[in-house]
Structure 1
Amino acid sequence: MKRTPSFRRILFPVVVFLALLSSCGMGRIGTGVVVWSDSESLANGSVVWIWDQSSLQKTFTIQKTDGGSRSTIANWRIRFFNNPEEAKTFAAEFAPWKNIWGVTQKPGMAVYQQPNSTSPKVYRLGDNEDVKILGQQAQPSTEGGFTGHWDKVMTSSGYTGWCFDYFLSLYKVANNQKVVLKQGGPEDFYLRTVETNSWYPEEFRFEVAQKRINLNYFRPDYDFHFDGDKTFSLTTPPPLGSTAPAASYSFTFSDVRKINSGTFLFVCPENLMVRILNPEVTKIEVSFTEGSQTHRYLYVRLDQDIGTYISQETASRVDELNAILAYGTKLTSPIYGNMTLASDGSVTWTGFQALQPPQGIAFPQGLANTAHIYFDWFKDSQFAGDWKVFRLQFDPTAQVPEFSQVFLYRFLKGGMQMIPVSPSDLNPVKQTVLRESRIGYTIFMTFEK
């Protein structure tokens, strides 16, 4: 039958209306979070739109929230939410566990409806069966004389419940690598990890991440480690920016008491206690008593040997000096004098009277003409731009026994532009430059050819 013009006039607005509904998201039936992905292109923890559901095939039709084509996935792999905000909240809570899995070390382990062994069983695990970890109760429990945590798990059959993890090994999968986090059963993986690694102050990890390694502080002897013969050693660095000495302790213990699956008391006069702070066992709290005072320190495992980081930072500083020397060893300015640099970092600077009283205020009277250049200060992570940082440590004189100046510098127009940094623009604790100083000095010196 031929369609009449009036039918087309009715059909066209309907099609447009349906298209608008779809583009506005009103065609979605819900929002989901991927808890057990079946594709490398869809990561666990991803928030997705759910467009359709098949009760017969038990699948969802989903789409990434940033667009792309739609795909079909088994509905047990997705946590469904009517409200997008609830999905985002769950995704944030699930994030620490999205790549963590468990495998049974004891055949017949039960999955319970609630986190207690009197709750109804919903599933019984087979030997070496994998489960997805969805979360974990914060406080440990004791079941049948064993101490562990109740983990919320999902099986490959889609069952969800709680499993007591004493006989459950936990592992993390990231970048196609499997890393064991906790060995199930009587052998204590946590304790062995504490005893077989060197642990360093948490600040070390921040320095690595922010590329501001302070070689006076970032040292291999500032660590917590097991010496063998029931003895731990701890050396705590002085607070950043302090001139106080480091403090060293030795703990010889007679016994180890497992307080819970991640906390150990090493019985000694100082009551040394070590607490695991994350599933990856890369961060611990070390506490002990000294007289009436309790000390607590956060220590971490580094991703590489500490000597590797130190070598890399040392080489980086040599590279910074060589980058300047590649332009030339002599710089000159009609206003700020002449500077000569050597490959050992020594500097000779003459004719800088414009920076001294009465003409200027950057340098004091009586300052030496010789100095050493160091690359031991860094730009703050929030400080953008192409500036680099060096420090000049001037040789002592009778009038000025101690003086150093931090400079921002960059290469420009056949020379080097330098700005002395005001103390108010420095963070002396982290040894970082917070911002570009505006104290009235912009020094430009030309490289001599």
Structure 2
Amino acid sequence: MSKKIFLLITASLLIGLFSSCGKNLGYSVLLWSNSEHEIADGTILKVHIKSNISQVYVVSLPGVKENFEVPLWQLTEPESKSKALKQQKRFSEFEHTYASVKLDGLPIRSDAVNTSKQVYRLREGEVIRCLYRGAGAAVTNGKGNMEGEWLRVLTETGTYGWCFSHNLALFQAEGFDVSAEKQDSSIKMDDLKGENSGDRAIITALISKKWYPESFANMIKVGRIDINRMNPSYGFSFGINLEENAQPDFTGTAVLNTETAGGSWPYTDIVKKAEKEYEFTGSKLKMSIRGANSNTMILQYMEKGRTKQETLIALEEDIDSLIENELARRQTELKRIASAGPVFKSSNYGTIKFNNENSVTWTNYKLLQPSIISNKAIGSVTVTLDYFISNSLKSSYDGVITMHFTGMEEGVNFLYKLTDTGLRLEDASKAPLKDGVVTARSASPMILFFEKK
């Protein structure tokens, strides 16, 4: 008995399934040209099935048996054929008419009034479909009414609304592939962007800034100016001199020069592609601007077939002055050490005599050879403060002192501490060093103490 019930239910479901395929939901107007099936907008389609799961209609051309799928948003709601024909007539004035957006953030509103609710914000260069014109409230800019009219529009994501046409560039789609038209439209928009005074002012402001590697800003923030890495020649230049031309034509050669990257790119224009996104026309260089004050730049370029990025920061500080101040600080510290002696003596590790703040004579250091000081070294030493110590070491040490022995290619680093009774040195030749900062002590370091004499 149960088997008969099962067969009965199965048969009923199959009958229901096939009968649903035979039913029609009605007729709809295609609102966005479909390149896959080469059907232009404005075409009336027969609608068979609606799938909310797949978000598609199953449709066919009237008189054609072949069915295909179309996204829900591309069609009007299915209705009788006579009503669909009336809809088609309503859209006829703007048949095949699309628009490219000229202003980033341009709103689509719920009604044809500039104070109505925003339902969508458009991106510059985005393409939308224009459906028909509407009677709406005038739009003003503080000086008077703006030129344009309210248009009923549709986005490629399926959002409907009203948009004022002042910042839209309307064009006729000549084929079924609107994406191709979009590409052509963006080329036309490039010409308009070059004339957009707002964009030109923003780009000119970017050119006027001094752009340096991100590491410079980090050094300034923590107060550790590594003069081996803070090179005034490092940075990015647009290759445009605003002092000679306050209104440049945005043509030049962009140059990037950092510790780890470099390159030059001739270009004929700087074009805004999206909000804070720019391209250098005629090159493969792209620029993204970040930060509340637009003081962070991310450059993207190709190198040996690979995409690379470099982050730069706009700085107001004078780099040469920062370096001069850091050199002066180091000299002051070396004078402090030298004047505390100038002779420091150890019974095991010899005598260190400061001839001046930059010159030392070190004698009788054989116990440090060759583990710390090379056998080739001569006691004539140049002294520098090339590195810094991390905050975790500041309670125990004053800094890092480097001894450059005659006869040695590389200097010998010591953590140092000047005390009331002398100078304490600790071997830092194997201490971890990152970005010019000794971050920790060496494992089992040798500690040397020299008394004042």
TM band (smaller chain): 0.5 to 0.7
Question: Cα distance, 1:392 vs. partner?
Answer: 2.7
Pick from 245, 259, 262: which aligns with 1:238? 259
Kept in 2: contact 1:391–1:404 (CA 8 A): no
Task: List aligned pairs for 1:288-437, cutoff 5 A.
Answer: 288-290=301-303, 292-343=305-356, 345-356=358-369, 361-397=371-407, 401-423=408-430, 425-427=431-433, 429-437=434-442
**Mind listing any 5+ residue stretches in structure 2 that lack a counterpart?**
1-112, 123-138, 144-162, 169-195, 241-249
Question: Cα distance, 1:348 vs. partner?
Answer: 1.0
- The equivalent residue for 2:17 is none
Distance 1:323 1:250, change over 3 A: same
Greater helix content: 2
Deviation digits for residues 153-199 of structure 1, max 9, x if unmatched? xxxxxxxxxxxxxxxxxxxxxxxxxxxxxxx9725443122211121
Deviation digits for residues 100-122 of structure 1, max 9, x if unmatched? xxxxxxxx9758455548xxxxx
Q: Which runs of 4+ in 1 moved over 6 A?
A: 124-128
Kept in 1: contact 2:379–2:406 (CA 8 A): no
- The equivalent residue for 1:278 is 291
Task: List aligned pairs for 1:18-417, cutoff 5 A.
Answer: 110=115, 112=117, 114-116=119-121, 144=165, 186-228=198-240, 230-239=251-260, 248-268=262-282, 270-290=283-303, 292-343=305-356, 345-356=358-369, 361-397=371-407, 401-417=408-424
Question: Cα distance, 1:375 vs. partner?
Answer: 0.8
Question: Cα distance, 1:206 vs. partner?
Answer: 1.4
Kept in 1: contact 2:289–2:298 (CA 8 A): yes
Greater strand content: 1
Q: Distance in 2 between matches of 1:349 and 1:111?
A: 82
Corresponding letter in the other structure for 2:276: G
* TM-score normalised according to structure 2 size: 0.53
Distance 1:276 1:440, change over 3 A: closer
Equivalent residues, number: 272
- The equivalent residue for 1:58 is none
Kept in 2: contact 1:235–1:249 (CA 8 A): yes
Kept in 2: contact 1:272–1:286 (CA 8 A): yes
Deviation digits for residues 314-341 of structure 1, max 9, x if unmatched? 1111111111123132211222111112
Deviation digits for residues 69-113 of structure 1, max 9, x if unmatched? xxxxxxxxxxxxxxxxxxxxxxxxxxxxxxxxxxxxxxx975845
* TM-score normalised according to structure 1 size: 0.54
Corresponding letter in the other structure for 1:249: G
Kept in 1: contact 2:344–2:422 (CA 8 A): yes
Distance 1:255 1:234, change over 3 A: closer
Q: CA RMSD in A?
A: 3.3
Identity of matched residues, %? 20
- The equivalent residue for 2:448 is 443
Distance 1:233 1:391, change over 3 A: farther
Corresponding letter in the other structure for 2:274: N
Distance 1:222 1:111, change over 3 A: farther
Equivalent position SS for 1:369: strand
Corresponding letter in the other structure for 2:252: T
Equivalent position SS for 1:413: coil
Q: Distance in 2 between matches of 1:145 and 1:376?
A: 60
Distance 1:219 1:369, change over 3 A: same
For the pair shown, the structure with the greater C-alpha radius of gyration is: 2
Distance 1:230 1:394, change over 3 A: same
Q: Distance in 1 between matches of 2:306 and 2:322?
A: 34
Distance 1:274 1:328, change over 3 A: same
